[in-house]
Amino acid sequence: MDCCLKVAWYAGMKAITEQSNFIFSPMSLRAGLALLAVGTHGATLRELLTFLGSENTHHLDAATARLLSNLSFAAGIFVDRTLLLKPETRSSCPPPPLLTRPSHSLSISRTFLTAEMNAFVEQATAGRIRNLLSDGAVHGDTKVVLANGMHFKATWARRFDPSDTVPHYFYRRDGEPVWVPFLSDAGMHYAESFDAPGLEFKVLRCFYKMVGRDGRLDSRAPCFCMLIFLPHSDDGLLDLLRLAVTEPDFVMRCAPRREQEVCPCKVPKFKFSFAFDAGNALRQLGLSEPFTYAADLSGMVSSMPAEGLYVSAMRQTCAVEVDEEARQRLRRRAPFLAQPVPAGHPRRSPQPMSFVADHPFMFAIVEYEKAELLFLSHVIDPSNED
């Protein structure tokens, strides 16, 4: 299992237990750990590289850099103001390959006030992520904080007409109904219905506009899309999440490649953020060296305190919003990915396929042509914005 998907499983399971929505970015976590690796040496660096499956920090930076287009992203290591950053650390971070857009910000800072750290993230994400760290997140003996956050909100390539948005019941995992607005767009869609052993589910693919750095339509821009996984059964979410994290190619393998008529086609509007203690998850999954007194962060500071230095807090916050927003209707044929069909062949019918996401479902936001997973998420209650 991919190391970052292991963290997704840890966080997703916790969210399901707590009956909460969940969104996680493997790429954001990888970028944060790549930033940490800049200041590590010895066994700590070796454990980081092994955990991330990278040969060296250059390979780690290159793997992260290709994923950052068109995203509001921030990651930073903040060090207590009494410590001095090494000149080579200051000059090598942020790594140049990672700074591909003004909205990206990776930084090492000597200031260590909660307000200043939150202001860094807020500025880097154009105000989309605020108050990443609460007042109680930093304690008196805290010396290093690694924080990263990401917000994704793009414009649909195919418009959801606001006049078609209607209220509908959504049934939470506990069976409790909530009355929420549903986007509606019956017609031809990229969609499939699968009969997998022990799990039946449908997948709907919705494209985002392909825009360049200037915000204009660009056919050469990254092809982002949302894949919505809807289990046939009301309690099928856990099995879908398990497949998504244990089979790294599962999400892209299930991406619909042909259009068919979908009627009705309804997806709830939702907007929420999700924050969790990534450091605790990483420790549980075997990456412990950076979070202990044995950590070697000697590449970061020249004034190492007598008690040593280690990462004492690591959080990730992601936010997502799905609404009708669109300005132009586009039709685009997706490239075919030469990948096998998942177990349980797609079931096709001459009758329109129904897709009504009125119970817990999973979704992924991917860069389709490179088969890169940016976000993995599930929705248990679309009325809850926490």
The model's pLDDT over 258-271, given as tens digits with 9 standing for 90+, comes to 999 999 999 999 99
Is the pLDDT assigned to residue 230 strictly greater than 90? yes
CATH fourth-level superfamily of 3-152+271-321? Antithrombin, subunit I, domain 2 (3.30.497.10)
Average pLDDT over residues 125-136: 71
Average pLDDT over residues 135-141: 71
Per-residue pLDDT at 278:
86
Domain ranges (residues) in the chain: 3-152+271-321, 162-270+351-379
Q: Is the pLDDT confidence value at 103 over 60?
A: no
| Per-residue pLDDT tens digits for 278-319 | 888 899 888 999 988 889 988 877 777 777 788 877 778 787
Looking at the domain covering 162-270+351-379, what would its CATH class be? mainly beta
Claim: this prediction has a pTM higher than 0.85: no
Q: What is the model's pLDDT at position 369?
A: 79
Confidence of residue 340 (pLDDT cuts 50, 70, 90): very low
| pLDDT for residue 339 | 36
**pLDDT exceeds cutoff 80 at 350:** no
| Residue 249 identity | D
Verify cis geometry, omega within 30 degrees of 0, for the bond prior to 87. no
Nearest to 71 by CA among 31, 107, 103, 23: 103
- The winner for highest mean pLDDT among 205-214, 273-282, 314-323, 371-380 is 371-380
State the DSSP H helix or E strand holding residue 272, giving kind and residue range, or none if neither: strand 270-277
Which one has a higher pLDDT value, 101 or 324? 324
Q: Which of 23, 15, 354, 361 is nearest to 171 (CA)?
A: 361
Residue 345: pLDDT over 80: no
- Work out whether strand 187-196 and strand 177-184 pair parallel, antiparallel, or are unpaired: unpaired
Facing residues of 95 across strands? none
